[in-house]
Structure 1
């Protein structure tokens, strides 16, 4: 079987569609194969993620949490 890394984006997308179609028809392992192809497509098309996005918002800049039992006060 051809390695996923050797396929072009268009081929990967077409194969993912074909496997997804087979999965909807009830073919046993087709869902897993479709998922592998779709995961490879997402991995290729994802741009580099900035460090701030990976770490989330710093605690100092996040809004203060309001206590649920004090909802009637500011």
Structure 2
């Protein structure tokens, strides 16, 4: 399978499928899941990290107006 030639929808579906296989204990699936997820991050960015950094300023409860 040429990962870079997969269409976006197929890439995401394959990444999910291989990650599930890896989580079920298929040792050979872990490497493929990693490669597919790396391509997803390359194409779409790391949306999970962006979400974590988009939190507003945190204030101590006593400092609120």
- Give the 5 Å matches for 1:26-37: 26-37=25-36
Runs of 4+ that moved beyond 6 A: none
- How far off is 1:22 after superposition? 0.6
Which structure dedicates a bigger proportion of its chain to helix? Answer: 2
- How far off is 1:24 after superposition? 1.1
CA RMSD of aligned residues (A): 1.0
Which residue matches 2:7? 8
- Give the 5 Å matches for 1:27-66: 27-46=26-45
**TM-score normalised by the chain length of structure 1:** 0.56
**Higher alpha-carbon Rg:** 1
| Residue ranges of structure 2 left out of the alignment (5+ in a row) | 46-65
| Residue ranges of structure 1 left out of the alignment (5+ in a row) | 47-74
**TM-score normalised by the chain length of structure 2:** 0.63
